[in-house]
Amino acid sequence: MSAPNSPSSDDDAAIAVPVAEPVAAFPTLSKIWDDQYCEKCDVGGSAGWKCLRCGESFKPVHHTRAVAHFAKIPAQGVQVCSAQIPELEYKRYVDLWTVTRKRKTEIKMVSMTITEDKEERLETASKRLFDESNKKPKIPSEMQQYLRSAGLSNSPTKRGGQPAIDTAFENMVQTNITHMNHAKMDMAVASFFHESNIPFNVVGSSSFKLMLSYARLVGKDYKPPNRNSLGTTLLDINHKNCIEHNQENLCREADVFGLSWLSDGATIGRMPLINVLGLCADSPPTCVAIEDCSGHMSAGGRKDARYIAELMEGIIEPYDPDKSRSTLFWFDGASNVQKAGKILEAKFPRSYTLHGGEHVVALFFSDIAKIFEIKVRYYVCLMSYASYYSHFV
């Protein structure tokens, strides 16, 4: 008699058919989002996902955690699935988990190799910078004092006597270490700027200086924010903070001098936008809002006077709740925004609307630039500049 799993047995072949069918019905998962039981959805106002097996919802959207949930892997920052999962379907989750972990390990290994490689290059670059800055060797004051007292220097000996030779050499070594650390820091900053293509003038930014001063205070247990938190939590906090700060500045003298509003529409990268800037006596023009009108336009709406007026009213409302502070609306000459200005004049009784002055001037020069002689002159200037600056790039 043959073994039960032997394919040569007719009886066993008949048994093997129902086992083979579900395997074919469940192809290997390459992403958990391909699974019909894992659905991306909105959870409490932010992007998340739902397990349709146990009915639990989670946020944020995190592939590894979602796989861990279905594969029932504990201690992965997510609750494991409480539903009974058929064995063949469960195997797919376990397989996906194995692949995901392997991929994560590989990425981690590559990242470690890159970091080690960078550290090595940074070491070489730092040494080079150190050597460059130490072409004339600097002798610490203790060493100078020692040499003077030993009669090896022409300078007169200062009061204080001869320091121990060990102290002099110790201080010399310490100075070298400090200079080397400074060189390493300089090269690390330079490499970060060069590799990330950050403009060089950013080095003068007060935020950059502040970041370095705080970096001195944190311990080894500090972990910098990751890509996800930079784009979500931290961005939201910064945005909210900035809006509140701007509002406070803008409204400080608003009761006395009133508020002016500038607004214009622009379509950037197929995204219809409307920007609004606020002005008050002593505060510079402040960006109050950049509204995305895609939803309104895709629903069949138009950027007509009524829509713009309603949008502006909603934006201005937190700054001027009783409609008594707004005195001036600047729009360009387009008929829709000028009409919107008339509606706003009715809603804000102390206000009036004007054509944006600088916009008219820009249009005037744009018309002049179309004259042939001026156009030729413009291109000659442009090419001269391009040729001149190309020598410095």
CB of 52 to Zn ion, least distance (A): 8
Write down the residue that tokens 């920007």 correspond to: 275
| DSSP output for 141-166 | HHHHHHHHHTT-SSSPPPTT-PPPHH
Q: Cα dihedral sign for 104, 105, 111, 114?
A: negative
Alpha-carbon separation of residue 189 from 142, 217, 277 (angstroms) = 32, 18, 35
CB of 33 to Zn ion, least distance (A): 15
Choose between 54 and 188: whose C-beta lies nearer to Zn ion.
54
Binding residues for Zn ion, per CB under 5 A? 51, 53-54, 81
Choose between 93 and 319: whose C-beta lies nearer to Zn ion.
93
Tokens of 281: 């006596």
Residue 393: CB atoms within 10 A of its CB come to: 4
Rounded Cα distance, 163 and 280, in Å: 65
Long-range interactions of 48-55: CB distance < 8 A, separation 24+: 51/81, 51/83, 53/81, 53/83, 53/85, 54/81, 54/82, 54/83
Q: Cα dihedral sign for 203, 208, 213, 219?
A: negative
Choose between 54 and 61: whose C-beta lies nearer to Zn ion.
54
Backbone region of residue 233 per phi and psi (left: phi > 0; alpha: psi in -120 to 50; beta: other values): alpha
Three-class SS state of 286:
strand
CB of 295 to Zn ion, least distance (A): 33
CB of 99 to Zn ion, least distance (A): 20
Choose between 54 and 328: whose C-beta lies nearer to Zn ion.
54
CB of 197 to Zn ion, least distance (A): 43
Choose between 62 and 303: whose C-beta lies nearer to Zn ion.
62
Choose between 87 and 322: whose C-beta lies nearer to Zn ion.
87
CB of 46 to Zn ion, least distance (A): 20
Choose between 77 and 285: whose C-beta lies nearer to Zn ion.
77
CB of 232 to Zn ion, least distance (A): 24
Q: List all residues 6 or more positions away from 172 whose beta carbon is below 8 Å from its beta carbon.
A: 139, 140, 142, 143
CB of 96 to Zn ion, least distance (A): 15
Choose between 53 and 339: whose C-beta lies nearer to Zn ion.
53
